[in-house]
Amino acid sequence: MSTRRMPRAQVRDQEEESVEENIRYMHVAAAEQATVAELATEKEKEKEKEKEPIVRENMVMTAFKVAKPYLLVVNSVAGLYILWMVLHFVSANLYVYYCAHMSLFGFLMSPVLASAPHCRAIRWVLNSGAHSIDAMWIVLGTWVCSKLALIGGTTPTTTTSTVSPHPYGGVRVRED
């Protein structure tokens, strides 16, 4: 039997091919691992997205439970103010249409219609609505200020002051 030896160039070519094949295999393996890792992160993201509506729903329910007592109070109080706002808006438009029409005839009839019973009633609703809306803003502003004072947690500081007569008249106040 004769053993035939391969030429060195052929051996070198085979070695280079095997090295290239190993490098290709490593690239494919790395790409597959990256793909597997991407799939795993995508699956985790999908699970988080599935949990997200539940978390949002829980947050909404918690917020509603906290806000419910306030909403009940606001509903009972705001209903009356909303009624006055609607009456004020409607009466303002009715007064312009029936008692002070924007025309020459309306201008000539306005002194007569100003004292008519329906115009006086509309004017009363308009004025009462305006006063109720003013009161609503005062109540709302007071409530917001009281809540802000509670959030800030500050209390007014008390100082001791000494009142003494001023040498040239009047009173001098000195705070310690």
Q: Is residue 6 part of a domain?
A: no
Check residue 160 and give left, alpha or beta (phi > 0: left; psi -120 to 50: alpha): beta
Who has greater pLDDT, 176 or 5? 5
Range of the domain at 75: 22-150
Q: Which residue has the tokens 């793909």?
A: 35
Q: What DSSP state is assigned to residue 169?
A: S
Question: Rounded to a whole number, what is the distance in angstroms from the first to the last CA of the chain?
Answer: 120
pLDDT tens string 71-87: 777 777 778 888 888 99
Residue 5: pLDDT band with limits 50, 70, 90: low
In a domain, 26, yes or no: yes
Pick the more confident residue, 90 or 55: 90
Domain-embedded: residue 113: yes
How far is residue 96's CA from residue 113's CA, in Å, rounded to a whole number? 11
Please give the pLDDT value at position 131.
92
Taking the C-alpha atoms of residue 59 and residue 168, their distance in angstroms, rounded to an integer, is: 67
- Asked whether residue 131 is assigned to any structural domain, the reply reads yes
The answer to the question of residue 47 being in a domain is yes
Q: Does 167 map to a domain?
A: no
The count of domains in the chain is: 1
Residue 36 lies in a domain: yes
Judged by average pLDDT, the poorest of 25-39, 63-77, 88-102 is 25-39
Any domain includes 48: yes
pLDDT at 175 (0 to 100): 59
Q: What's the pLDDT score for residue 56?
A: 62
